[in-house]
Structure 1
Amino acid sequence: MAESKLAEVMAELAALEDPKARAVNERHGDDHGVNLGRLRALAKRLKTQQDLASRLWETGDTAARLLALLICRPKAFGRDELDAMLREARTPKVHDWLVNYVVKKNPHAEELRLAWLADADPVVASAGWALTTERVAKKPDGLDLSGLLDIIEARMRDAPERLQWAMNHCLAQIGIEHPEHRARAIGIGERLQVLKDYPTPSGCTSPFAPVWITEMVRRQQDSTAV
């Protein structure tokens, strides 16, 4: 029964393949051709199915893994299982969804955050920084924000792309959420110049930390002034 269900879902995913979506996704390093809105609709219909999620993950197919992350039970995974899954997550979208939709909701998140931050693999380390950014925003008690800024200042400019983005996000979040560290966060961004010239579409906020921090703080102040 389980095998037939897996085959049925894989056939549905194959039917959703769209060459235009694949072309767009491949430009971002993702090797699947399924429109994410349709993928979410399929997940909504399937609802939570942990066993099916595990089987979909085991296929190694990117679209199947994304679907697995939408229908799994985040708290059902063990620490070592999540660590192995992260190291298997070959594409940016699978990596991001695994961290944001599963690891952040798992009881082992803090233990994994600390382990991944210190990992020699920059992609794994980027997951540690993503979890740290979440804590900066939502549960900063116990974090050494000055120490994090020290590491960012020393390492971000020469970090590989995925890790650099994650560290930059953490830098911006510290500056946005913690006024006592804001001037230093902006100063680090200005000195390092990371992502200063990143092409930003009209209407979007630049990922350059000084601009990002200033804009988000302005929005917060405007919302409280109303």
Structure 2
Amino acid sequence: MAETTPAEVRAELAGLEDPKARAVNEKHGDDHGVNLTKLRAIAKRLGTRQDLARELWATDDSAARLLATLVCRPKEFGRDELDGMLREARTPKVHDWLVVNVAKKSPHAEELRLAWTADPDPAVASAGWALTTDRVQKKPKGLDLAGLLDVIEAELKDAPDRLQWAMNFCLAQIGVKHAEYRARALAIGERLQVFKDYPTPPGCTSPYAPTWINEMVRRQGE
């Protein structure tokens, strides 16, 4: 049985386009109308196909690019290739999925983390902070957590939206995962008040760092 071609995959994605879903997504800066559960089902059926992933990414279509992040082999992308892909990721969802599904699993993750965090483009810098948060959670050895808190304290309040969100997440995770820095993380959040009035649906945890930290710690039973 012949493998599904890129053209066939794109036709299938086009068939899943839902104008109502697109309208909702566009409010968040995204430009696709494909249900993500259905998109993940396509990825599961296709399996891992690196060549297809590269062809889908090259289309510049957001739904195709989201699918590409699910069917690729992250370790097969070069460092410069991933850097270029991140800079091409125009929408928040494509940007996030590229970081979570590909960059975090790359052997170049640490090199990219350092380069991206220092980048003048706030969207690129936000990817660096996302990789930093991943290390805060999973591989903190060697990280200067006090130094990260210094940077967050100095820059979080006035950071552009996407960068601010990523830095705030890092602040919260330092407070949740590292008890010795919890009091300082809470104090920074309380002083800066970032996201304190963020509209939060019932049953969800506020992104306001002190609330987030205290709720996650409570759930952990600490």
TM-score bracket relative to the smaller structure: over 0.9
Report the alpha carbon displacement of residue 112 of structure 1 after superposing the two structures with TM: 0.3
Amino acid at match of 1:123: A
CA distance in 2, matches of 1:41, 1:6: 16
Give the TM-score normalised by the residue count of structure 2. Answer: 0.97
Question: In the alignment, does 2:194 pair up with 1:210?
Answer: no
CA distance in 2, matches of 1:219, 1:8: 45
Give the TM-score normalised by the residue count of structure 1. Answer: 0.96
Report the alpha carbon displacement of residue 7 of structure 1 after superposing the two structures with TM: 1.2
Report the alpha carbon displacement of residue 28 of structure 1 after superposing the two structures with TM: 1.1
The residue that corresponds to 2:127 in the other structure is 127
CA-to-aligned-CA distance 1:45-86 (integer Å, 9 cap, x gap): 111111011000000000000011111011110000000000
Report the alpha carbon displacement of residue 20 of structure 1 after superposing the two structures with TM: 1.2
Query: RMSD of the alignment, in Å?
Result: 1.1
Structure 1 segment 39-50 matched on structure 2, within 5 A: 39-50=39-50
Gaps of 5+ in 2: none
Structure 1 segment 36-115 matched on structure 2, within 5 A: 36-115=36-115
Identical-residue share of aligned pairs (%)? 77
- 1:203 aligns to what SS in structure 2? coil
The residue that corresponds to 1:198 in the other structure is 198
Amino acid at match of 1:93: K
Report the alpha carbon displacement of residue 6 of structure 1 after superposing the two structures with TM: 1.5
Gaps of 5+ in 1: none
- 2:200 aligns to what SS in structure 1? coil
CA distance in 2, matches of 1:79, 1:102: 11
- 1:75 aligns to what SS in structure 2? helix
Structure 1 segment 138-157 matched on structure 2, within 5 A: 138-157=138-157
CA distance in 2, matches of 1:191, 1:105: 35
- 1:204 aligns to what SS in structure 2? coil
Question: In the alignment, does 2:168 pair up with 1:168?
Answer: yes
CA-to-aligned-CA distance 1:128-159 (integer Å, 9 cap, x gap): 00000000011100000000000000000000
* Count of residue correspondences: 220
